[in-house]
Chains A and B, each alone.
Chain A
Amino acid sequence: MDKELFDSFVDLREDDVLKIVKEKIESGEDAFSIAETCKNALIKIGDLFSKKEYYLSELVMSGEIFREIMEILEPKLVGDEKEGNKIGKIVIGTVKGDIHDLGKNIVIGTLKGNGFEVYDLGVDVPPEKFVEKVKEVEPDILGMSCVISIGWDSLKETVEALKRADLRNKVKIILGGGGVDEEVAKFAGADAAVKDAIEGVEQCKRWVLL
């Protein structure tokens, strides 16, 4: 693993990181191993977030740097390398009645960086659309975002719809967004409610890896 690349990514020195990646590609280094170093840096950034040394603003910046790196690396990756090793599948969306997508987009970036295959249904998603997608792609996890209280009933309705379609026991359900907590999860019949992107990803990892 290249320490200089790893450190400049963890320090979020965007220009340095991109310069190093370009130089490495030009000198013929293996794109897959560069990508692996960058993924390790992302994991370290997640660690720093959990320790409250980094904050959401740093997560967003690291997501942007990673996106720029992958733009450079992708043409050089071959076959399976493009996909990377996927650790799990998640369907995600903001519930019916709520059109906020900010938190959801940040979580999606973090999930992808951690090896999840993510199906994003967007905002204001009705229960039947969640059910349809869960049936189609058979994910490990369904993630629902809800920022305002008007979405609480929609959370419950979606869980009920999954039960009716005999799919509830086939997925774990996680809630995020400013408008949820454990009480809301209990009301809706979900498995967990988390308060930030990293807590969400850690919960998802525990479900698929353990």
Chain B
Amino acid sequence: MQEVGFIMNLEPEELYKQRKERIETTINLKVPDRVPVIFSENEFAWGFANITQLEFMTDNEKMMMAYEKLFKTFQQDAAYFQPSLFDALFNVIPEPCMIKIPGKDLPEDSPFQLVESEIMTEDDYKFASRKGYFRTLVKLLPKLRPEIPDVQNIFTEQITRTVEDMRGSSSNQKRFREWGIPFWGGGGMESPFSLLCLMRSYEKFCLDMYRRRDIVKQTVEKFIPEIVRMAIGGVKASGVPRAQIGLHRESSSTFSLKIFEEIALPMIKKIVELISKENVMTILHCDGDWTPNLEYLTELPKGKCILDLDDSTDIFKAKEILGDRMCIAGNLHEPLFAFSTPQKVEEYCKKLIDIVGEGGGFVLKGEPPREAKLENIMAMVNTAKNYGVYK
């Protein structure tokens, strides 16, 4: 608790600089003053502020009020997400699926949910592999958002305005700075492999790997430059030199190592190469079990990536294999926040700090769900602040 009291005496701008430096030192594989601590906010923030999920997604003032309450309570080191409202139409860009929306298709306190189906047919591969992601998306829009008449025109007309809005959200970003909170990621996008998998649906995409692997590979390659441009666009708008790439379907939980080796790994290497050229670091947001995939990631350049893991991957193994090459962030999982006790959370955080945090290059990160207990999140934050100090 010593540091919390100490922080109270600092001006937000000083706090901001201190936190930003702590994160930058850590991701550059050096030893900071203490282990930085962050968590994904969006599942927990709205319930904590007594507003509905729908309000959090659609009302800027309420969303910012919820973030303010959250950051002033927990005083973590960075905001995991950029503050922006949900737009059902433009959400097709990172998540090309049909969608069920709270307040419309679902109760107001439900998270929005994706409906994975075969939006893209096997015949669409030819088009996609020649024309790229964005044009494929526009072609598939009437299937993705059947409820919006003339959706293709609306989408193309509004896309420029939306990019401007994104830059306009800098007033939200300014307020984060006034609270002393830097951002973890600048821009971001899902990987070509994950996007294609969502558009085809997981099961069809598995069959594609056996029936038409060559064109899958070509399509993934075709999508890469566009995806990187989108991620870099976000980086430039936010001024934060880190681009998060969502790797949701690449791990051993979903595809074999042979497929990973042949399609996903070359894609990841290319993405990191292109993003690095812009002097931006790539945050590899790794869903699923990457333990068998870790060895492959030694092929990535040193100090250019951050490995953001959930609890499916053996994070201790990740430290052993990749600790000298990239910063590792992870990995407190949802049920731990909801069903465990502050003592157990503290115990696990201490183990992470001792082993993964040894020599720096570690960010303590969790994913509290809406059912999380406040004292469990607080236990994570306080363990980083008190126990995570490097001597």
- A residues sitting closer than 8 Å to B (CB atoms) are 12, 14, 52, 54-58, 60-61, 64, 97-100, 102, 105-106, 148-150, 152, 179-181, 183-184, 186-187, 196
Contact = CB atoms under 8 A, between A and B. Distances in A.
Given A61-B209, A149-B371, A184-B335, 16 more contacts: A56-B254, A57-B259, A60-B202, A60-B203, A61-B207, A64-B207, A99-B100, A100-B113, A105-B203, A149-B43, A149-B334, A149-B338, A150-B110, A152-B338, A181-B333, A183-B336
Given A57-B209, A60-B207, A149-B334, A102 B202 contact: yes
B252 interface: yes
A181 B209 CA distance: 30
B321 interface: no
Contact of A58 (B100, B201, B211, B256): B256
A69 B207 CA distance: 16
Contact of A56 (B107, B253, B338, B371): B253
B211 A14 contact: yes
Contact of A12 (B210, B252, B338): B210
Contacts, number: 74
A45 B255 CA distance: 15
Interface of B: 43, 100, 107, 110-111, 113, 115-116, 201-203, 206-207, 209-211, 252-257, 259, 292, 333-336, 338-340, 369-371
Nearest to A98: B113
A100 B110 CA distance: 14
Enumerate the 10 nearest inter-chain pairs by beta-carbon distance, A residue then B residue, closest first.
Answer: A149-B369, A60-B206, A55-B256, A183-B339, A57-B206, A183-B335, A57-B255, A99-B113, A57-B256, A61-B210
Contacts of B111: 148, 150
A149 B371 CA distance: 7
A99 B115 contact: yes
Contacts of A180: 335
Given A102-B116, A179-B334, A187-B339, A152 B206 contact: no
Given A12-B210, A60-B203, A97-B110, A150 B338 contact: no
B95 to A, nearest CB: 14
A102 B252 contact: no
A187 B257 CA distance: 35
B252 A55 contact: yes
A98 B110 CA distance: 9
A12 to B, nearest CB: 6
A56 B334 CA distance: 23
Nearest to B107: A97
A91 B285 CA distance: 35
Nearest to A65: B210
B100 to A, nearest CB: 6
Contacts of A56: 206, 253-255
B371 A152 contact: yes
Contacts of B206: 56-57, 60-61
A179 B201 CA distance: 20
B113 A57 contact: no
Contacts of B207: 60-61, 64
A187 B338 CA distance: 10
A102 B203 contact: yes
B88 to A, nearest CB: 16
A97 B202 CA distance: 22
A97 B108 CA distance: 12
Nearest to A187: B339
Contacts of B371: 149, 152
B145 to A, nearest CB: 17
Contacts of B257: 55
Given A102-B203, A149-B371, A183-B335, A57 B254 contact: yes
A184 B336 CA distance: 10
27 contacts: A14-B211, A55-B255, A55-B256, A57-B206, A57-B254, A57-B255, A57-B259, A58-B256, A60-B202, A60-B203, A60-B207, A61-B207, A64-B203, A106-B203, A148-B113, A149-B334, A149-B338, A149-B369, A149-B371, A150-B110, A152-B371, A180-B335, A181-B333, A181-B335, A183-B336, A183-B340, A196-B253
Interface centre among A60, A61, A179, A196 (most CB of B within 10 A): A60
A61 B213 CA distance: 13
A61 B115 CA distance: 22
A184 B339 contact: yes
Nearest to B368: A149
Contacts of A97: 107, 110
Contact of B210 (A14, A52, A100): A14
Contacts of A179: 334
A53 to B, nearest CB: 9
A52 B256 CA distance: 9
Contacts of B203: 60, 64, 102, 105-106
A54 B113 contact: no
A51 to B, nearest CB: 12
A102 B203 CA distance: 8
Contacts of B335: 180-181, 183-184
A54 B253 CA distance: 11
